[in-house]
Amino acid sequence: MKLFLKTKDFSVSGESFELHWDEEFQMLRTSPVPENLEGYYDSDNYISHTDSSTGLVDQLYQKVKRLNLKKKLQLIDNQIDISRNLLDIGAGTGDFLLYTQENGYTITGVEPNEKARTLAKDKGLDLKPGLNNLRGQQYDIITLWHVLEHLPELEKQIVKIEELLAAKGTLIIAVPNFKSFDAKHYGRYWAGYDVPRHLWHFSKESIAKLFKPHNLEVVQIRPMWFDAFYVSLLSEKYKGNKLYLLSAFFVGLWSNIKACFTKEHSSLIYVLKRAK
């Protein structure tokens, strides 16, 4: 595969990685893939597995997460009529599941990280460590909020996800978009690459190509407006910019403005259903 970009793990290890272009699926692949990926999540800097709000970036992350909960629920409510059986894959510390449960959903969650599962358990949630724990189950809504890019053996995982989806179910996937303006602007410093935790880097074309063989088609694409600002904030920090707040705001704003015309937002939500 052709080399697309050289970057590094800015948040945990400082190790260098390469992104290779996959022509068939129109996406990027992280290389090399470490044998012990779990070790790259074992850090207080990886906020998705903590409820930290100690620093400014952590506080902003938690505020954005709370704002997004309502938007996510509205999107899900628009997909179903009566049944409210939901599976969240990569549930983190469980805040999204708790919110949906409070709003009448029957919930199940999967989270491979033990630290995150423990925090979720303290909130009353019993998260499963993997998809194999759910064999034989069916769900009307399956969500992966910034999770698909983390999954090893991607095509095998997609098969498992498709098997768990009910006949008239809806699959909702949110992932970073490496074709966005902020990705091109920051290059190797773009926080959306987040190597090696992000093994895959998707475009609109790649999501459609990956799921088409499994009889799932994209029926709707929605932007995640806040992501342009948050990803720009992290990217500016990786560059060592002391005025990162101001710079990140303008880059994030410009990225969103340009995306109004290109439709290439910093992160995108894909709604998939079974092809008729």
| Each residue's pLDDT tens digit, 188-214 | 999 999 999 999 999 999 999 999 999
pLDDT at 47 over 80: no
Q: Has residue 51 got a pLDDT over 60?
A: no
User: Which pTM does this prediction carry?
Assistant: 0.93
216, containing H or E segment: strand 216-223
Q: What is the pLDDT of residue 70?
A: 87
pLDDT at 43 over 90: no
Query: Where does the pLDDT of residue 244 fall: very low under 50, low under 70, confident under 90, or very high at 90 and above?
Result: confident
Residue predicted with more confidence, 59 or 110 = 110
Longest dimension (CA), the chain: 53
Give the number of other CB atoms < 10 A from CB of residue 178.
Answer: 23
Task: Choose the weakest-confidence range: 40-49, 113-122, 201-210.
Answer: 40-49
Q: Which CATH architecture has domain 2-274?
A: 3-Layer(aba) Sandwich (3.40)
Mean of the per-residue pLDDT values of the chain: 92
Cα-trace Rg, the chain:
18
pLDDT above 70: residue 82: no
**177, two tokens:** 């978009």
Cβ 109 vs Cβ 121: under 8 Å: no
Task: Name the packing angle between helices 56-77 and 95-102 (round to 10°).
Answer: 40
Determine which of 57-71, 112-126, 243-257 has the lowest per-residue pLDDT on average.
57-71
Q: Which residue has the higher pLDDT, 61 or 105?
A: 105
Quick one: average pLDDT of 53-67?
Answer: 65
- pLDDT score recorded for residue 48: 58
Domain residue spans of the chain? 2-274
Instruction: Return d(Cα 131, Cα 164) in angstroms, integer.
Output: 9
Neighbours of 257 (CB within 10 A): 11
Please tell me the predicted confidence (pLDDT) of residue 84. 85
Pick from 163, 191, 154, 187: nearest CA to 176: 191
Whether residue 79 is predicted with pLDDT greater than 90 in this model: the reply is: no
Q: Let me know the angle formed at the C-alpha of 99 by 96 and 102, rounded to the nearest 5 degrees.
A: 150
> From CA 17, how far away is CA 254, in angstroms rounded?
28
CB of 191 closer than 8 Å to CB of 10: yes
Over pLDDT 70: what percentage of the chain?
Answer: 91
In sequence order, the 6+-apart residues with CB closer than 8 A to the CB of 137 are: 87, 108, 164
Say if CB 19 and CB 31 are below 8 A apart.
Answer: yes
User: What is the C-alpha to C-alpha distance for residues 91 and 180, in angstroms, rounded to an integer?
Assistant: 26
pLDDT digits (tens, 9 = 90+) for 212-243: 999 999 999 999 999 999 999 999 999 998 88
Task: Report pLDDT for 60.
Answer: 66
Asked if the model's pLDDT at residue 45 lies above 70, the reply is no
**pLDDT tens track for 130-154:** 999 898 899 999 999 999 999 999 9
